[in-house]
Structure 1
Amino acid sequence: MSWLISLPCTRDEAEALSGEVPALDALADAPVVVTREIDEAAGRWQLDAYVETRPGADLLTLLQALVPSAKGVKPSVEQLPDKDWLTLSQQGLEPVRAGRFFVHTSYHADAVPAGATPFLIDAGQAFGTGGHDTTAGCLAMLDRLAARGASPRAIADIGTGTGLLAFAALALWPRARAIASDIDPASIEVTRTNAAINGVALGQAAGQLALAVAPGTDHPAIRRRAPYDLVVANILAGPLITLAPDIAAATAPGGRAILAGLIARQMEPVLAAYRARGFRLAARGGSAEWPCLLLVKRRRHGWRRRERALHRASASDATFGSW
């Protein structure tokens, strides 16, 4: 990457840019867009877009349209020094220790602690390198479940991103039947690559990970394997609420769901959607800002096989990100 475009934005705008952005995805040379909080006290956020060639007026106009709060602000455009930005990005991602898990990039491959369960996940096209509080919270919750003696036999990771949470679940319960899905085909290819790197067997048998490109649970392979003792969905609040009927339908009575990707102020609406479908809150983990919820489905709410999902995503759901 040789050019950096920066614009101020709000937190809500930053969250909206954390998933798929069709306007950018349609570009032949789409920029790499990241958002970050630059002043917590003042609530100031910033959009940074990296491109390989000097940006034209059309791209600058498009980026400004994505952050309406910056209307009238001239984008900052600077040429970056000629460096190996991929290597630098890997150096900047510190390893994450969550329970027994140690998630690291190639740069930190020699730093694995004794006794840890390591996963090598380099930064790439998909979300879920372990560095975000939501992913780390899910890893810690999985570890917590195993420590308490849980033994799920059927596991689904909905919106898998890099595959990390599915890999962790199989490491804890190597005899389980597991499937990982994502609406983005690129995420499934990233998961396939990461599985090979981390020695995770792909396939349909117990102890292997099946993969599916699917919006939520809407895939024959996901329906065929239901009901699940454990469903993990580290996505965003909007899709979590949208998918509540489907996740409930796919979860066995007494089964568990780990939900993350929401911020603290979104917790009650998400919980309300799942309580209405027979779940109760069993534990809360994660961080204060990014909670990770462990839900248990009440046994009086049975499961029935369906041929189609109860809810299909509408076009407006896309603003909530990839799931």
Structure 2
Amino acid sequence: MSWIVSLPCTRDEAEALSGEVPELDALPEAPVIVTREIDEDMGLWQLDAYLDEKPGAALLELLQALIPSARRKKPQVEQLVEQDWVTLSQQGLEPVQAGRFFVHTSSYADRVPAGSVPFLIDASQAFGTGGHDTTAGCLAMLDRLARQGASPRNIADIGTGTGLLAFAAMHLWPRARTIASDIDPASIFVTRDNAAINGVPLGRSGGRLALAVAPGTDHPAIRHRAPYDLVIANILAGPLITLAPDIGAATAPGGNAILAGLIARQMEPVLAAYRAQGLRLAARGGSVEWPCLLFVKRRRYGYRRKERAFHRSNPADASFGSW
């Protein structure tokens, strides 16, 4: 059974927690910390700490000490009810082989092909089990990048769903710093569980996966780590276009962006949006109906123009995240 501790915080406090926190990292069983904005108009933020065991008084005091504005607030401690994320309509989900990766549910745990890299992702409330063409296309594109010799050191998975694409990137580049975000808190909870199942370590340092609840790139932890050598966004065409300035600014010159979630007839508007941000199309993968696009951000030489900020206080389309 899992537990969650919630405390109100300010945006500045959330940003301070986006880096390394030695007090938490030193704990034998450190909680997974997620900060999120709960009321944009009033500027209210919240810290959620996820634990496998009921928190003791010492941990509660430590969490409050990290948030000066909440010193007099009583932490909300809640036991999370076990939920069956697997729906009847998804129980028969077939495994997917994409590049070196083999993504399967529990029903196929004893049928992993020799030499493949398996991920156990049971069907859940979050999108991204691997069974959809867009997710499979992204896995194949990640595999292709690795075979071409790419070596990103800083990776962001925007709209992570189940965490699968972040897990795959971490397997390919185990020393990289990686962060996965989603607008849906349930997706981050699912990602946390899937990380434990697949042996993916959570944390803020290299080789560990950091988590954030965020609309697009609008989160202190995401901004704190930018720019990224590799950005992955498997969402929808509308949000991809809306986020083009933000993803473009978050991608380092010479870095890559893997975009998916669009259908073939939506490709031209997406291409135009990212070309306007200085990214060029380097490759197209995926299926005929569900393309997966690989972009490279052009390098700048000589005088460097000022970058625009890559977050928005009022995104035009807040529907991005898992679907």
Check if 1:157 corresponds to 2:157. Answer: yes
AA in 2 matched with 1:115: G
Task: Note the C-alpha offset of 1:309.
Answer: 1.1
Q: TM-score, normalised by structure 1?
A: 0.70
The corresponding residue for 1:263 is: 263
Deviations 1:279-308 (A, max 9, x none): 000000000000000000001286867766
* 257-266 vs 303-312, which moves further: 303-312
**Are 1:106 and 2:102 counterparts?**
no
**What secondary structure does 2:282 align onto?**
strand
> One-letter code of the match for 1:296?
V
CA gap of 1:173–1:242, structure 2 versus 1, over 3 A, is same
Q: Distance in 1 between matches of 2:175 and 2:306?
A: 25
Greater helix percent: which structure?
1
Give the one of 292, 312, 315 matched to 2:314. 312
- Alignment-derived partner of residue 234 in structure 1: 234
Unpaired runs of 5+ residues, structure 2, are 1-83
2:216·2:321 contact (CA, 8 Å) conserved in 1?
Answer: no
Backbone CA RMSD of aligned residues: 2.2
**In the alignment, what sits opposite 1:275?**
275
Equivalence for 2:287: 287
Change (3 A) 1:85 1:208: closer
Corresponding residue SS for 1:92: coil
Residue type of the partner of 1:273? A
Q: Distance in 2 between matches of 1:163 and 1:199?
A: 12
> Per-residue deviation at 1:91?
4.3
Q: Is the 8 A contact 1:282 1:294 kept in 2?
A: yes
Rate the CA distance shift 1:307–1:320 in 2: closer, same or farther, 3 A: closer
Q: TM-score, normalised by structure 2?
A: 0.70
Q: Residues 205 and 85 (structure 1 numbering): CA distance in 2 closer, same or farther, change over 3 Å?
A: closer
- 1:312 Cα deviation from its structure 2 partner: 3.0
Provide, for residues 50-86 of structure 1, a one-character-per-residue CA deviation record: whole Å limited to 9, x for no partner. Answer: xxxxxxxxxxxxxxxxxxxxxxxxxxxxxxxxxx995
| Aligned partners of 1:137 and 1:292 also within 8 Å | yes
Q: Give the letter for the 1:199 counterpart.
A: G
**Counterpart Cα distance in 2 of 1:149 and 1:295:** 16
Q: What residue number does 1:15 align with?
A: none
Q: Aligned AA for 2:254?
A: G
Work out the CA distance in 1 between the residues paired with 2:124 and 2:266.
28
Tell me which amino acid in the other structure corresponds to 1:286.
G
- How far apart are residue 195 of structure 1 and its match? 0.3
Give the distance between the partners of 1:303 and 1:99, measured in 2 at CA. 38
1:267 partner letter: M
Q: State the match for 1:38 in structure 2.
A: none
Q: Is the 8 A contact 1:249 1:303 kept in 2?
A: no
Q: Determine the structure 1 residue equivalent to 2:249.
A: 249
**For residues 286 and 86 of structure 1, what CA distance do their matches in structure 2 show?**
26
- CA, structure 1 residues 86+205, in 2 after alignment: closer, same or farther (shift >3 Å)? closer
Aligned residues between the structures: 238
What amino acid is aligned across from residue 247 of structure 1 in structure 2?
Answer: I
In 2: Cα distance, 1:114 partner to 1:182 partner: 33
Instruction: Give the Cα–Cα distance (whole angstroms) in 2 for the partners of residues 183 and 90 of structure 1.
Output: 23
Cα deviation digits, residues 229-267 of structure 1 (max 9, x gap): 000000000000000000011110000000000000000
Q: Does 1:217 align with 2:217?
A: yes
Amino acid at match of 1:183: I
Is the CA contact (8 Å cut-off) linking 2:159 and 2:321 kept in structure 1?
no
Q: 1:217 to 1:140 in 2, by over 3 A?
A: same
Residue aligning to 2:143: 143
After TM superposition, what 4+ stretches of structure 1 lie above 4 angstroms from structure 2?
84-91, 301-308, 318-323
Q: Which amino acid aligns with 1:121?
A: I
**Native 8 Å contact 1:246 1:311 kept in 2:** no
Q: Which residue number corresponds to residue 129 of structure 1?
A: 129
Structure 1 residue 121 displacement after superposition: 0.4
1:175 aligns with 2:175: yes
Contact map agreement 2:86 2:124 (CA 8 A) in 1: no
Q: Distance in 1 between matches of 2:213 and 2:203?
A: 15
What is the rounded CA distance, in whole Å, between the counterparts of 2:276 and 2:310 in structure 1?
Answer: 20
